[in-house]
Amino acid sequence: MRRLSLIAVIPLLVLFAAGDATAHAFLDHAEPRVGNKVAAPPREVTLWFTQKLEPAFSSITVTDPAGQRVDTGKTRVSGNQMSVSLRAGGNGTYHVTWHALSVDTHTTDGNFTFQVGR
Ligand SMILES: [Cu+2]
C-alpha cells in the first residue's frame, strides 16, 4: 500500500518541478530591442513573454531621458505580448519597467533601457 502511493506521488512531483521552472512569464524580447538604439522616438513599446499574461495585472511604464513618464498608462495585453503607446519625447535614454502576471498566477517584473538618437 505504501509503495503504491509513493509511485503515484513521484510523477506528480516531477511534473510540478518541471512546470515551475518553465511556467513564469519572463521577457523573451522587446521592440525597441533591449539596450538597442533607434533613430527616432518610438510610438509604442511592445514586450513578448515566455508565457501568456493576465491583462488585469500586467503593465508597462516608460520614462523619457528627463525622467518623465511618456507612456499613455493603458497597457494592452494580448496572449503572451503587451504593449503601450508613447507620447513624443526627446533623444537619450528611455527606461522601460514592466510587471507581469502570468496565467499560472506567478508575478515577474523587470526593467531595461533603450536609446533614442543618432
Ligand atoms: Cu510561474
Q: How does pLDDT run along the chain (118 residues), one tens digit per residue?
A: 556 555 555 454 444 544 555 578 999 999 999 999 999 999 999 999 999 999 989 999 999 999 999 999 999 999 999 999 999 889 999 999 999 999 989 999 999 999 999 8
What distance in angstroms lies between residue 69's CA and the mean position of ligand 1's atoms? 29
If you search the block for the grid coordinates 501568456, which residue do you land on? 52
- Cα(107) to centroid of ligand 1, in Å? 7
User: The pTM is what?
Assistant: 0.80
Task: Give pLDDT, residue 23.
Answer: 72
**Which residues have a Cβ under 8 Å from the Cβ of 86 and sit 6 or more positions away?**
41, 42, 43, 44, 45, 62, 70, 71, 72
Q: Which residue has the cell 508613447?
A: 86
pLDDT of 9: 53
pLDDT for 118 equals: 82
Q: Ligand 1 mean position to 94 CA, how many Å?
A: 28
Find cell 502570468 and name the residue. 102
Positive/negative CA dihedral, 23, 28, 30, 33: positive
CB 32 within 8 A of CB 42: yes
Q: What separation in Å is there between the alpha carbon of 80 and the centre of ligand 1?
A: 13
CA–centroid distance, 101 to ligand 1, in Å, is 9
Residues 113, 96: contact at Cβ < 8 Å? Answer: yes
